[in-house]
Structure 1
């Protein structure tokens, strides 16, 4: 079974605005329209059967509606979608919300410190992460084009969290450090509770850097992700395989590793 571990789909009422925001934020032209229908169409065309859908609440007031939409997508497309919920450190009733996510079969949670406006080492997060141990997969956006000192989510922070919460299953997005992969190689060692996804790396990394990142982590702990709607599955698969030099069988293994994550 082939997986895309890193995708985003938005409510039809806001999909266009969300894509426009992504275009501005990342200075690109998204290859998807942001809707679940287009995502399913593009993934199916390349044989991807399961996709993880991610959301992030940029304010505490968005926690409930964001999670409601995640639950709706999980219920309406159970054969293809694994929806992740979200939380915000300023949302006071987080314990109740974790229980609600659990009751509704939400298996993971996405945090995007850049967009959500906090640091990944924020002390307010620590009791929440502790409560997520043995219960949820936590997928963190990691990295930034900003200087390391100004980045709210760094490979070093992820390494400290992995050590502090050994029973917390962590997925570090973007090979553990979007646009700061030299720090991934220096500051994010492999660990038993750490996985990395490959999203939003191949458009920027040289073949040499991509091969170094692949060699840095155990191959079974790497997860294929497109960051759709930023990049389409067909183009991302082709670009990633060309730059990495992976054989067809190794590429298939990479795209199937998430089966073990969700086992």
Structure 2
């Protein structure tokens, strides 16, 4: 079973607004309209069997609606695995985690930059303790802002990993969007997962190859970051940029299945 570990899909009432916000923030014209139907069509055309869909609550009040959306995607679309989300100011985290577990949700997405906190905010430490051994955690990492001023840099993720060795971390964007030299310094080679999303368009060949060859292959997961990029196009680009063998490519596309099977439901 092949997976795209990093995608997004939005409620049809707000998809067009989110697409406009993404283009304004990143300066990248999205390749899709953000609807789940468009994502699944593009994934199928690219030979991807399953997609993992992420959302992030930008306020405590959005936690329940965002997680309802994730639960509904899991329920209504057999090819979708959805991660829930949390916010450090949400007051009832443990009951919400129990609700997500009961629905078969495998993971939690945190996007510190969009959600308005720092990954070294100690309010997160009790949350990471609750998540350890129960959910995989997808962390957005990096931005054009230098690490010391950025909410989510590789060094902060490495500190979380040190303090919570049983927490399954996926550091998005090859360990840090535009922070790849710091990812090499702080994250690459450790037993955290990384994904390939929103990387191939921007990273130079030498850095890309250094990350790939220094990190455990079974912890490098294919991700596209749809609707910013097309899963099929990114699949071809990954293979060509790194000169991957069939076996290497198969591992990047399938390793997420084993990870998801540990939490919630895989397959």
**TM-score relative to the length of structure 2:** 0.95
The 3-state SS of whatever aligns with 2:194 is strand
RMSD across aligned positions (CA): 1.0
Kindly state the Cα deviation for residue 189 of structure 1 after the two structures are TM-superposed. Answer: 4.1
- The residue that corresponds to 2:53 in the other structure is 53
**Aligned partners of 1:32 and 1:229 also within 8 Å:** yes
CA distance in 2, matches of 1:17, 1:26: 14
Alignment counterpart, residue 238 of structure 2, candidates 213, 222, 240: 240
CA distance in 1, matches of 2:190, 2:244: 23
Matches within 5 A, 1:88-107: 88-107=87-106
CA distance in 2, matches of 1:221, 1:186: 17
1:225 aligns with 2:223: yes
CA distance in 2, matches of 1:222, 1:4: 12
Kindly state the Cα deviation for residue 248 of structure 1 after the two structures are TM-superposed. Answer: 3.2
The 3-state SS of whatever aligns with 1:57 is coil
1:52-110 CA distances to partner (integer Å, 9 max, x unpaired)?
10000011110010000000101001x21110000000111112111111111111000
1:41 aligns with 2:41: yes
The 3-state SS of whatever aligns with 1:158 is helix
CA distance in 2, matches of 1:178, 1:208: 16
1:155-174 CA distances to partner (integer Å, 9 max, x unpaired)?
11111111111111111100
CA distance in 1, matches of 2:231, 2:51: 11
- The residue that corresponds to 2:123 in the other structure is 124
- The residue that corresponds to 1:211 in the other structure is 209
Kindly state the Cα deviation for residue 253 of structure 1 after the two structures are TM-superposed. Answer: 1.9
- The residue that corresponds to 1:108 in the other structure is 107
- The residue that corresponds to 2:82 in the other structure is 83
**Aligned partners of 2:170 and 2:195 also within 8 Å:** yes
Matches within 5 A, 1:57-72: 57-72=57-72
Paired positions, count: 261
- The residue that corresponds to 1:157 in the other structure is 156
**Aligned partners of 2:16 and 2:33 also within 8 Å:** yes
1:20 aligns with 2:30: no
**TM-score relative to the length of structure 1:** 0.97
The 3-state SS of whatever aligns with 1:176 is coil
The 3-state SS of whatever aligns with 2:63 is helix
**Aligned partners of 1:7 and 1:52 also within 8 Å:** yes
CA distance in 2, matches of 1:210, 1:152: 23
1:170 aligns with 2:169: yes
CA distance in 2, matches of 1:166, 1:234: 34
The 3-state SS of whatever aligns with 1:38 is helix
**Aligned partners of 1:63 and 1:88 also within 8 Å:** yes
Alignment counterpart, residue 262 of structure 1, candidates 251, 260, 263: 260
Matches within 5 A, 1:188-199: 188-192=187-191, 194-199=192-197
